Structure 1
Amino acid sequence: MKNTNLPQEKVIICFHCGNETVMRQTGEYKWGSNDDFSFFFNYKMFACPVCHKITLMETYGDETMIAPNYSGEYVWFTEDTILYPINSIDSKSMPKKIKESYEAALKVRNIDTNACVLLLRRTLEIILTDQGATKWGLAEKIEEIAQRGLLPDSLKEASFFAKRFGDSAAHGKDLVADEQDMNSLIEFIEYIIEYLYIIPSRLKEFKMKIDHEEEF
């Protein structure tokens, strides 16, 4: 269903250029149901007046989304999620501090390459510490976790690349990451997160489902 009442405006942080600014709505699509369970999805596209790039926002609401306000009255609420550009990882299977650090890197990927690479290095160190690494330096942490069999050789090598580029970004060394390097490092860290957290969690959920079905 299209909305013919455009344009509308909304203050949004642009994850392309980093500016928080008033954006004009350039498109909208809605769908939902009022049958057995009432819900709706509303997709809106906004244009940044600074960099002229597009942000896609999803708004979701359903009949269960009601909560008291400051005066104690119950009011309906909705949830907004920026779908594009990607700035989050959708998983509840990892510790909050890892999710926040990784998403912080995603939020600056189109703004500052060095900042993104530094945050990816930080995310890696948080991951290794969460996995039980006790050594002091990041290189030693990588070796420690790999020797315990928690990281396969491919992800161990990916970890060292994240360390090298992160160190260079922090200390102004000659190894400078370009956009392609940064995107590869983002993928490497995501692979590590998937391997250590997301896949084991999904396997556990799947096993519980199968075990439950076999009981009947």
Structure 2
Amino acid sequence: MDATPRPPTLAGLRRTYEGEPLLESDLASDPIAQFTTWFQDALDAGLPEPNAMILATASAGGRPSARTVLLKGYDERGFVFYTNYESRKGRDLAENPRASLLFPWHPVRRQVRVEGTVTRISHAESAEYFASRPYGSRIGAWASRQSAVVRSREELDARYEELAARWPEDPPVPDFWGGFRVAPVEVEFWQGQLDRMHDRLRYRRTRPGWVLERLAP
């Protein structure tokens, strides 16, 4: 008998989207202000971890990679997250400093997509944020050479205990760890509608400001 599990049927996963129309006149003049409004709506709706975002990068050779990270700050300069610079995403961004972000706020039938160029934030900014993290997370940043192969969980735990003994109170910020800022060149606001006639409104950076465009769903 073939014990290979069969893929589940997806026919029952259809969903109908219905919401208020998203009109050009409803949006702020710039995408950061509009993001602030929608982010607050996500908070008010009680969404779990509304700052969770999918980060997509690509190597110099074009090999794509995506993962979920947490937004840790944003302003008119862009969207900030933190990571190990030697991780796969860190290496990708060193080779190809462009990225895409996606905020999948499914319960409120919305998503926000960001495309932009990426730079490291200053060491001082990274150090300030690092100091605000829980002690265990700071030791974990030292213990994990993110994306590297490890022989076992025991090896990883032993490394953590070794570093916790070295720095029982205040571990310094690692030189291989810090923040990236995604400076947006496009920001798209998507709102689900009936019959797949979704609203997609995109801000595209131009000189001197932003152009707002509607995209076909």
Q: TM-score range by the shorter chain?
A: under 0.3
Higher helix share: 1
Higher strand share: 2
Q: Whose radius of gyration is greater, 1 or 2?
A: 1
Q: TM-score, normalised by structure 2?
A: 0.23
Name which structure has the greater RCO, CA cutoff 8 Å, separation 6+: 2
